[in-house]
Structures are given as C-alpha cells and as structure tokens.
C-alpha cells in the first residue's frame, strides 16, 4: 500500500490552503443559484473538509466523482427536472471538465502557470459552469423588437436535436445565468414547482417507455426476419430450389 510521505502531505495541505485563498472559504453550494466555478471549487474544499477520512489524502478523482459532480447535477435537476442527458452533457464529460477545472485552479493558486493562463482563469472563475448541450444564441424581446404582446422574455434560434433543446420555460433563466458574474444573479431558483415537476418526470417516463417499446418492436421485427430467412434456407435445402423459384412459389401460393 502506498503511503504518502510527510513532504507529500505538507504539499497537499499547502495546495488546499492556497486554493482557499484563491476561491474563498469552503462552503456549501448556493441554494438558489446554478453554481459558478468559484462555487464548485469552494464546495469541493467544503466536501474535503467534511470528509471523515484523512482530508489531506482525499484523492481529486474521488472528490470530483463522488462529491462535486453529484452536487452539481443535483442543483441543475433542482432548477428543472428536464436538465438531464442529453439536454446536459454526459456525466463522463462533466467529470472530465471538473477535474480539469480543479487542476488548473490548483496550479493558479500555487503560481504554477504562465502569465496568459491566470487572467483567463480568473475571468471564468465567477461565471456559470455551463453543462448544457445547447449553446445556440438567445436574444431578448427588446433586442428583437418583438410585439408588445409577446409573452416570451427570451427567444432562441435553436438548431440542436429536439432531445437536446433547452426547455422553453427556462430560456430566460439560463440566459440570466450565462450572463451573470458572481454567485448571485437576477434569476434565482425558487421552491420546486411540484405539479410542473411531476409533469416533467411523467413526460420523461413516457419517453423512456416509448423508446423501450420501439426498441422491443425493432428487435421482434429483426427476429421475425431472421426466422423467415432460416425457414427459407431449410426449404431450399429440402427442395433443391433456387431462392428465386422458392420466392415465386411462395407468392403463387
């Protein structure tokens, strides 16, 4: 079993300390907001601090996979039950994105990056960690000069596949989150709308059942075709006919 040296332990402890200086104190995710990079890094420090095991030896992979990403996904689902794959990125991609964010943050906090990397990182630190698949441009009614009676606050010319589209009722919310800088934005998550959530969950369930039904039908159809081909081959072997003759005989009968 590999045991970390005292030097390695001190280095990891120092890196966490430096990271907390960069992103602020360790803390839970903001309850009414989709998290920014700073929020998620602070949450990672919080989860590491709360871990009952040796905090200094808490692996980054474990921290990202078992703590940060589940918290991130739960927050997005809290905003809308439809924020699941493929509306959002795959979990594998999100985990990879978060590991990269954590590692870059550590390097920046320790001063182990070049002069070009740190300013770019700092610009993204207080921006939304956007895990949506769709990044089509959104425009407000005022930008488009909509009719005053238009009930849509935001419009989008989305070219994504149907299953990847952002729910229409969330367009203004997502646009606000993408534009905000800092943890608090103009649009915040309220208490869960249980009737709407139940509708969304039921809709997702119906879609999943429909997908399973189509798959079962396709599988049954393929099995039937294979069965017919097998019967035809057996018939050809018995009669010595060619496939063309057998087909003509089948049609005539």
Q: How far apart are CA 19 and CA 45, in angstroms?
A: 8
Q: How many CA atoms lie within 13 A of 182 on its CB side?
A: 5
Sign of torsion over alpha carbons 69, 71, 75, 80: positive
Structure token digits, residue 194? 């249980």
Q: Are 119 and 132 in contact (CB under 8 A)?
A: no
* The pLDDT of residue 7: 44
| Range name among 132-136, 138-142, 180-184, 196-200 with the lowest pLDDT average | 196-200
Q: What is the mean pLDDT of the chain?
A: 83
Which residues, at least 6 apart from 74, have a Cβ–Cβ distance to it below 8 Å?
none
E strand residue ranges, 105-234: 138-140, 154-156
pLDDT tens figures, 180-209: 887 665 555 655 555 666 666 677 677 778
Sole residue written with tokens 């990079």: 37
Helix (H, G, I), strand (E, B) or coil at 88: strand
Q: How far apart are CA 16 and CA 92, in angstroms?
A: 25
- Cis ω before 77 (30° cut-off from 0): no
Q: Report the share of the chain in percent with pLDDT over 90.
A: 49
Burial of 128 (0-12, 13-18, 19+ CB in 10 A): buried
Q: How far apart are CA 164 and CA 90, in angstroms?
A: 12
* The pLDDT of residue 2: 40
pLDDT tens figures, 31-83: 989 999 999 999 999 998 887 666 666 789 999 999 999 999 999 999 999 99
pLDDT band at 16 (very low <50, low <70, confident <90, very high): confident
Cα 81 to Cα 73, 186, 204, distances in angstroms:
10, 21, 9
* The pLDDT of residue 151: 85
Helix (H, G, I), strand (E, B) or coil at 241: coil
């Amino acid at each position: 079993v590999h045991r970390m040296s005292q030097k390695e332990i001190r280095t990891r402890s120092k890196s966490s300390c430096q990271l907390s200086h960069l992103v602020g104190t360790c803390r839970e995710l903001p309850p009414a907001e989709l998290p920014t990079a700073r929020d998620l890094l602070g949450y990672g420090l919080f989860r590491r601090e709360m871990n009952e095991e040796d905090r200094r030896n808490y692996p980054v992979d474990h921290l990202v996979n078992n703590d940060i990403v589940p918290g991130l996904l739960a927050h997005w689902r809290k905003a809308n039950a439809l924020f699941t794959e493929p509306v959002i990125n795959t979990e594998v991609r999100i985990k990879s994105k978060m590991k990269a964010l954590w590692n870059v943050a550590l390097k920046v906090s320790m001063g182990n990056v070049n002069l070009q990397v740190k300013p770019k990182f700092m610009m993204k630190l207080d921006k939304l960690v956007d895990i949506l698949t769709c990044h089509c441009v959104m425009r407000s009614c005022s930008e488009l000069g909509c009719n005053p009676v238009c009930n849509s606050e935001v419009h989008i010319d989305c070219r994504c596949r149907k299953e990847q589209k952002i729910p229409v009722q969330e367009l203004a919310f997502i646009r606000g989150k993408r534009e905000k800088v800092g943890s608090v934005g103009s649009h915040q998550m309220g208490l869960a709308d249980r009737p709407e959530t139940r509708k969304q969950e039921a809709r997702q369930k119906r879609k999943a059942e429909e997908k399973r039904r189509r798959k079962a039908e396709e599988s049954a159809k393929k099995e039937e075709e294979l069965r017919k081909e097998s019967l035809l081959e057996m018939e050809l072997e018995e009669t010595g006919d060619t496939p063309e003759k057998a087909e003509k005989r089948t049609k005539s009968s």
